Amino acid sequence: MDSILEEFYFGITPCDRDYKETPEYIRLNKELKENEEKLYKFFDENKNNELEKAFERVSELNNEIASCEKSQRFAEGFSLGVRLVAEAFYYTDAKL
């Protein structure tokens, strides 16, 4: 879509867009997966379902917190952008 108005109509959802996988992102994601595999292997070897459930809940809560933070950052960024545009129009009008 080329028009911001069309995006507003259809719903702007940055969280649904693909993340650009930078080398740092790829490295961190790989490390995360490796460590998760180590933990699950430990859980399996030690037959510790309670610890595994606690880890899964921690992961879920981290994802929920990250989602809250992302939506708040989006709202703050959007607000800042609107204020910048408003000030640009005010500044231009005031100088004329």
Q: Write the pLDDT tens digit of every residue in 38-77.
A: 998 998 888 888 999 999 999 999 999 998 898 888 888 8
- Give this prediction's pTM: 0.61
**C-alpha distance from residue 5 to each of 9, 11, 43 (Å):** 6, 10, 50
pLDDT classification of 17: cutoffs 50, 70, 90 = low
Return the ∠ at Cα 4 (arms to 86 and 67), rounded to 5°.
90
- The tokens for 69 are 């933070």
Task: Reduce the DSSP state of residue 96 to 3 states and report it.
Answer: coil
> Above 80 in pLDDT, residue 1?
no
pLDDT classification of 15: cutoffs 50, 70, 90 = low
Q: State the Cα–Cα distance between residues 51 and 41, nearest whole angstrom.
A: 12
Q: State the Cα–Cα distance between residues 51 and 59, nearest whole angstrom.
A: 12
